[in-house]
Amino acid sequence: MQPSNILVTGGTGFLGSQVVARLQTADCNVQVLSRSERPDTVQADLLTGEGLAQAVAGIDTIIHCASSPSNPHQVDVEGTKRLLQVAEKAGVSHIVYISIVGVDRNPFYPYYGKKLEAERIIEKSSVSWTILRATQFYEFVLMLIQALDRLPVMLMPKDFLLQPIQASEVADRLVELALASPAGHVTDIGGPKVWTAAELARAYFKVIGRKRSIIEIPIPGKAAKAFRTGAQLCPDQKYGNVDWEMFLNQQDNL
């Protein structure tokens, strides 16, 4: 089943933009939701609801990629509520939501807790839905390592377990799901290998040809314990084929 009109929230972000590009390649009629007046986008604001009704009018499927780690309550929770309210009235037939592996096992981390709240809102909606949980993106891991690399001492959380995946592979799966019938909670997806945070950093420095000492810092609290015990992993669902070193070697900004 191929929907005739698709709206992508967060469609100017690095995941959403890749989703949009794939939909366009598939000759779908795709619209991009944006808060700003960017060319070739539909202006609307999840924070206030302004413009949402107009953006959703005539839409069959929504791929909901918009998210804000810095303001998750307003964007991920309240914004999802606003989006679904107008989607229900407009007769949208399918919403596809990208969430994070383990949000139910680690709601102690505030951002993950809000993503879980957003999932619950979607589950209760009258709009048919699909929720995909993916592990952390390589792109986020790279940004974190490069930010920490600016400090005099390279610090990483001790024994945090991660299974990152390239965002483009997540975009492939989201498009596949959007062009199919609503499926509820689908199988989680993750990258090809489980790493500690420190191992990811060491591999980064090896690829760029630099030697740097990495100090692992024990982090207290329930959220940190969940990271150490594998709450954010799906080792039996190694969907991604691009490994960390391969991803790094593809980057131009190293």
| Backbone phi, psi, residue 195, to 5° | -130, 160
Contact 20, 30 (CB under 8 A): yes
Residue pLDDT tens, the chain, 254 long:
555 799 999 999 989 999 999 999 998 999 999 988 788 899 999 999 999 999 999 999 999 999 999 999 999 999 999 999 999 999 999 999 999 999 999 999 999 999 999 999 999 999 999 999 999 999 999 999 999 999 999 999 999 999 999 999 999 999 999 999 999 999 999 999 999 999 999 999 999 999 999 999 999 999 999 999 999 999 999 999 999 999 999 998 88
Structure confidence at residue 3 (pLDDT) = 56
Q: How far is it, in rounded angstroms, from Cα 187 to Cα 199? A: 27
CA-closest candidate to residue 83, choices 68, 64, 107: 64
Residues in the chain: 254
Radius of gyration for the chain, computed over Cα atoms and rounded to the nearest angstrom: 19
- Token readout for 73 is 């309550």
Structure confidence at residue 253 (pLDDT) = 81
Contact 182, 27 (CB under 8 A): no
Domains of the chain by start residue, with CATH:
5-249 (3.40.50.720)
CA-closest candidate to residue 227, choices 191, 193, 194, 192: 194
pLDDT digits (tens, 9 = 90+) for 65-114: 999 999 999 999 999 999 999 999 999 999 999 999 999 999 999 999 99
Contact 83, 77 (CB under 8 A): no
Q: Considering the entire predicted model, what is its pTM?
A: 0.96
